[in-house]
Amino acid sequence: MSATTAAVPRSAGINRRALGLSIFYFFLAAVIMLVFVSGTSPDAQTIFVLNLGTAPIVTLPEVAVPSTMTMTLMAAVCAFCGAMQLTRAVGAKWAILLTIAMIAFISAFLTWAAAEKSMNLVGVFQTTLFRAVPITFGAFSGVLCERAGVVNIAIEGMLLSGAFASAVVASVTASPWLGVIAAVIVGGLLAWVLAILAIRYVVNQIIAGTVINLFAAGMTNFLYSRVLAGNPDLNVPPRLGPISIPILSDLPIVGPILFAGNFFVYAVFVLVVVIHFALFHTRYGLRVRSVGEHPRAADTVGINVNFTRYRNVVLGGMVAGLGGAYFTIGSTGSFEQEMTAGRGFIGLAAMIFGGWTPVGAFLASLVFGFADALQSRLSILGSAVPSEFLLMVPYIVTIIVVAGLVGRVRMPEADGTPYVKE
């Protein structure tokens, strides 16, 4: 008895959230039953294809599931999560329930969208990863800058400039690697300007970022019209094609997804590990985080606050520039005006959703990449869901997260605050 009475006054707010989540899960279950199940014929089948590529070692059979039964099962899972959330003291484990409910809902959604058709799941996941790559680079750029306390909303501009620089340099030198290097340098230069404006001239960092975005968009458009349009041979960069890792890439399911990407895909894998390790397990990372959390304290113990910030912002810009190269020499080849199309802002969203951590940012980018991949897949399948709503997912998820409606993320304490010595 004493346990319950102690718990009630402490968690009045949490209970309201638990109630909200519970209602949300029941709502998902209701959507599955009322929209998905009732809109599908009872004996429909959904076929999931699990093979991709020409000659895998093992050819997996196609999985055919009865559509309505699968969806009903998933609805039951969602309802179960709702019941758990309502009746048990779930506490900190709410995130697990949320994940289970979301996976169940997405499974039901896929089953419904591909009912009486077939969907290549491996293909969807492969596209997910490809779509997530530029977003991840952008998000890492944000993590590096903001962990040191400098807000970077110029990711979009850095991606765009990186894409432009890599296309031109790779075309001129006929070397994709020089293109990559050029993109990294240009991204770093733009970030250096951002750092100077934000740190030396104490310009509001959002304005500084806006300046860089406008400048990058204006400059690449200008140079595209003035130089590239008249000299098409400056815009035919060689591409970095896929590198299949022997044996691993022949594994069923994971092989084509993880081990048949190009340089940029592997660079993302490496960067997740490197940035995570550097930020959380090295002296460098401790310093960076201390500068981002409490610059005065960092200064007191002898850390050069502004130098640390300059260094991290430039590093962040280089990562974003690298991500920009993906748009040209990593995928389509030639540069087009404003080809990044807001990916930098999705990267920003992924960084926030991922709680300012590299691993979180990567996972968030995968979620957003999944929404993007699903959107393009569904518009091919001719689904009843307007694809525009799937494209809104990253933005709406981010708004929900920053509003703390599900669980609040914590940003670096001194993020966006210039440090002026006293």
Partner 1 sequence: MSDQPRPPEGLEPPLPAAEPAAPEPTVEPEPEVSEAVPTAAGEPSRRGAGLLRRLLVPALSVFTALVFGAFIIVLSDPDLLALWTSDPLAAIGESLAAVGDAYAALFTGALGSPQAYLDAFASGDIDQIIAAFNPISESLLAATPLIFTGLSVALGFRAGLFNIGGEGQFYLGAMFAGFVGFSFLGLPWFIHLPLAVAVGFLGGALWGFIPGFLKARTGAHEVIVTIMLNYVAYRLLDWVLRESWYQRPGRSDPISSPVEPTAVLPPIIEGLRVHWGFVLALLAAAFVSWLLFRSTLGFEFRAVGLNPSAARYAGMNISRTLILTMAICGGLAGLAGATEILGVSKVVSPGISPGYGFDGIAVALLGGSSPIGVVLSAILFGVLRAGATPMQSATGIPIDLVVVIQALVIMFVAAPRLIREIYRIRVPETTGTEIMAQGWKS
**Contact set with partner 1 (CB under 8 A):** 151, 153, 197, 201, 203-208, 210-215, 217-219, 221-223, 225-227, 342, 345-346, 348-349, 352, 386, 388-389, 391-392, 394-396, 398-399, 402-405, 411, 415-418
Cβ atoms of 173 and 148 within 8 Å: the answer is no
Cβ atoms of 52 and 254 within 8 Å: the answer is no
Phi, psi dihedral angles at 178 (to 5 degrees): -65, -35
* Burial environment of residue 16 by CB neighbours within 10 A (0 to 12, 13 to 18, 19 or more): exposed
Closer residue to partner 1, CB minimum distance, 69 or 405: 405
Closer residue to partner 1, CB minimum distance, 179 or 412: 412
Closer residue to partner 1, CB minimum distance, 218 or 242: 218
Closer residue to partner 1, CB minimum distance, 291 or 411: 411
Cβ atoms of 359 and 366 within 8 Å: the answer is no
Least distance to partner 1 from the beta carbon of 87, Å?
27
* Distance in angstroms (rounded) separating the CA atoms of residues 146 and 293: 10
Length, in residues, of the chain = 422
Least distance to partner 1 from the beta carbon of 156, Å?
10
Strands 45-49 and 118-120: parallel
Least distance to partner 1 from the beta carbon of 215, Å?
4
Q: Could you give the strand order of the β-sheet that contains 63-66, starting from the edge strand earlier in sequence?
A: 63-66, 45-49, 118-120
Least distance to partner 1 from the beta carbon of 269, Å?
28
Least distance to partner 1 from the beta carbon of 100, Å?
26
* Burial environment of residue 41 by CB neighbours within 10 A (0 to 12, 13 to 18, 19 or more): exposed
Closer residue to partner 1, CB minimum distance, 11 or 221: 221
Structure tokens at 386: 């307007």
Least distance to partner 1 from the beta carbon of 190, Å?
12
Closer residue to partner 1, CB minimum distance, 123 or 416: 416
